[in-house]
Amino acid sequence: MDGKPAPPAGSGGELFSLPAGPASLCFDKNEFMKKTFSVDEFLHENRNAGSLEIIRDDLGLYLKVLRSAMIELINQDYADFVDLSANLIGLDQQIEAIEGPLQKLRTEVDQVKGALEASMSEIASCLEQKKLLRSYKKSLQSLARAQASLHKLEDMLLGDRKDQIDATLLERAALESIQLQFNIKFCRDFLDDGKQRLAQDLWSELLARLKGYFLRALGEPEPKELERCLRIYCTLDECRTAEEVFRGEIVAPFMNRAISESSLQNSPQGLTGIYNQILDFVSMRMKQLCQLTKRNGKVKGYNFIVNSFWAEVERRMETNMSSIFAPGNPDAFYQKYKCTLEFLERIELIIDDADDVAQFKAHAQYRSFQLRWNLPVYFQIRFQEIGAELEACCSESASRQVASSISASQFNVVQFSAALTAISRCWQDGVFLPQLFHRFLKLTLQILARLSVWCGEAFRPDGASQEAANGAPEGQTERIRFLVALYSDLRNIELKIPSIVNLIVEKSPPSGVSRGELEAIVGESGTAFGERRSQLQQLIVRELIGASIPQLRQVSDIPRLYRKTNRDVPSRCCAYVEQLLAPVDSFRKGYNSMIGVEAMRDFQIGVFNHVTVQFYQVIDEVLTSVQKTEESLRRLKNLRDRSGTSASSAAVAPSTDRTAPSDDDKIRLQLQADVMHFARYVEDKAQIGRQNVDKLPQLVQLVEDAIKGRPFAIEQTQP
């Protein structure tokens, strides 16, 4: 920081350090050493340090420090500056002294370089001429050999034995033709047009004789001649020519007769009979070819099944028998497609080699043949058939779809039966195709989703059915019956989910979706049905509560039954309690076997929880009212006693000797009898613990506390 140069800190370090300035500077002096230093950024970063006047003054102070440091640095290194200037005296004369020799040397080097380049160019030209001469010599040698080969082939193929087919002669001619073709490549420019035409004619003649030999060898019982012919074709690198000869001369005529609309109509077995004829052709006419040319056979390079047989079969089927691809009749389409798949599998068995089978499936005509089968249209027709039946069933009125007899072992609502039938039809033989597995899986999920949506719609009855249910007990009973049937079917369809998964797994292709994934996918539909069942349970509970709650209004009429009526002490519950319990009781008796014990218990607990809370509130209100009335009458009696009134108090206040219960006691006793009857029903018939019902222990305690301390009442209520 004293102004002296600092040693380099490294490859990326700073060479100099700035001198220290006053401590009161409003900026950091190291910012000036940044490679990315910018005046605008400097002012922006220090805008909060002080005003522009302060920054200007501080910059002026630091400028003075820098100038002082520069002067001090020059003073310290002044001797070095003077020595440097002294050493540079006379340097120009020394440079001029050596400039002349260097220029002369450069000129001599350029002359030598030019001479070398000229020599190299001359040598390259000579080498190119020598190469051209060698090429000419080789071409002339090839021309001589080609001339000799032409003469030999002309003698062998166009001589006196022109009409004879000799295997040995063909082998010699094949070897000579190869030599001829090889030599022609090097002397084509020197060979006249006549010789080239002769060579082409000789090649055509050789192939023509080889074709005749091939067709004759195909009819021989022993494969020796056929093997020899195939080797000659392979020697000539004309394997594809042999395949085309077999396709055009042998396969095409047979397939033209066998594959046609008339053959399809006249065949007793239909398409299966046509395919059997085609496969019989392979076993009768291609047996030796297949044995000789298969992968472990004696001759390599041929594939007559794919290039000769299948190519012609596929072309004929597309042109002469296109009606089999029509998907208008899905049943007929299914049978034809399944028959075709079996036909292709039998061809693969004939090929009997994994690589050859893969080559067969990768063939362009094989893919074209598969695309001709319009599977998406077939699925769309099946989708419309299956979906239309289910949709028509779901569009009908829900209340009219309940079976006449409700049972827990079968579906009671026809929509569930229709949905399960639709799912079964998706995967049954005659409809399902493995190639459409994912589409039928999606259709199955759509059927389950449509059934779930229909259930949600069935929960909400239309206006007419709702008015009928509200206006008549029969309508309400019918709605409960429908909801219970729906609840049972939802549980049954949940139980059917594993069997649906098993059905799909059985039909799943080997490379399809795993069982775990199918269970997860279809299980989501089961979860949706479970949620629907929970919603339906809440709805049924609300229906039962709605049928029971109105009876609680009669509790407020009990005081009028006993005040100033001289009724007997109550010995049984009021009729409203039976009416209160009647909806739950009839529900339990009618549907217990179908819903099940555990589910019925949940239903009853849901109803009793709500009803008991309402019952408690009504009883509490009546007891409170009775207590207030009793206290008012007691105060009135006391006032009369104090005023000397001798009116009888037997009717207005509890008897002092407790020989007979008052009207208020009878009310309390009646309420106790009603509550205890309700509690006994819950515990004895519904088989539900008192503590499992909201407010039931408090309700019993409420009526017991109301008669506590009343000996007559207690005596009357003891068993």
Structural domain tally of the chain? 4
Whether 273 and 403 share a structural domain: no
Low-confidence ranges of the chain (pLDDT < 50): 1-14, 160, 405, 409, 463-465, 467-469, 471, 645-658, 713-719
Same-domain check for residues 270 and 385? no
Determine the length of the chain: 719
Give the phi and the psi of residue 413 in degrees, each rounded to 5: -110, 130
Q: Which two tokens stand for residue 548?
A: 């029971």
For residues 344 and 271, the answer to whether their CB atoms sit within 8 Å is no
In degrees rounded to 5, what are phi and psi of residue 402? -80, 135
Q: Is residue 642 part of a domain?
A: no
Tokens of 210: 């080889």
pLDDT of residue 475: 61
Residues 308 and 163 in one domain: yes
pLDDT computed for residue 465 by the predictor: 47
Q: Kindly state whether residues 338 and 195 are assigned to the same domain.
A: yes
- Name residue, tokens 């008549």: 472
For residue 611, what is the domain's CATH number?
1.20.58
Largest Cα–Cα distance in the chain? 169
Whether 519 and 504 have beta carbons less than 8 Å apart is answered as no
Reading the block at residue 433, the tokens are 């195709």
Rama region for 564: left / alpha / beta (φ>0; ψ in -120 to 50; rest): left
Report the C-alpha gap between 707 and 704 in whole angstroms. Answer: 6
Of 224, 298, 199, 660, give the one whose Cα is nearest residue 290: 298
Between CA 108 and CA 98 the distance in angstroms is: 16
State residue 324's pLDDT score.
Answer: 87
The token pair that represents 680 in the structure block: 């006994």
Computed on alpha carbons and rounded to an integer, the radius of gyration of the chain in Å comes to 55
| DSSP state letter for 29 | G
Per residue in 537-562, pLDDT (tens digit) is 999 999 999 888 998 888 888 888 88
3-state secondary structure of 402: strand
On whether both 534 and 440 belong to a single domain, the answer is no
**Burial tier of 145 (Cβ tally within 10 Å: 0-12, 13-18, 19+):** middle
> Which DSSP letter does residue 305 get?
I
Phi, psi of 715 (to 5 degrees): -60, -40
Q: Are residues 215 and 274 in the same domain?
A: yes
Interatomic CA distance for residues 122 and 719, integer angstroms: 142
Cα dihedral: 680, 681, 687, 690 (round 10): -50
Q: Are residues 186 and 316 in the same domain?
A: yes
Co-location of 155 and 273 in the same domain: yes
Residue 609 placed within a domain = yes
Residue type, 28: D
Domain range spanning residue 79? 43-88
- Residues 409, 490: Cα–Cα separation, whole Å: 12
**What's the pLDDT at 263?**
85
Question: For residue 130, is it within any domain?
Answer: no
> Residue 190 CA to chain centroid, in angstroms?
68
Residue 281 tokens, joined: 């052709």
Residue 428 lies in a domain: yes
353 assigned to some structural domain? no
CB 330 within 8 A of CB 381: yes
User: Is residue 430 located within the same domain as residue 493?
Assistant: yes
What six digits make up the tokens of 540? 């049924």
What residues contact 389, with CB distance under 8 A and at least 6 apart? 418, 422
Residues 203 and 70 in one domain: no
- Is the domain of 437 the same as that of 343? no
Instruction: State residue 169's pLDDT score.
Output: 82
Angle formed at CA 151 by CA 146 and CA 153, multiple of 5 degrees: 90
CB 156 within 8 A of CB 168: no
Q: Are residues 410 and 529 in the same domain?
A: no
Q: Is residue 570 included in any domain, yes or no?
A: yes
For residues 57 and 47, give the distance between their C-alpha atoms in angstroms, rounded to a whole number.
14
Q: What are phi and psi of 674, to 5 degrees?
A: -65, -45
Return the pLDDT at 567: 79
Q: What is the Cα–Cα distance from 557 to 361, expressed in whole angstroms? A: 89
Does the residue 657 lie in any domain?
no
Tell me whether residue 587 is in a domain.
Answer: yes
- Cα distance between residue 307 and residue 285, in whole Å: 15
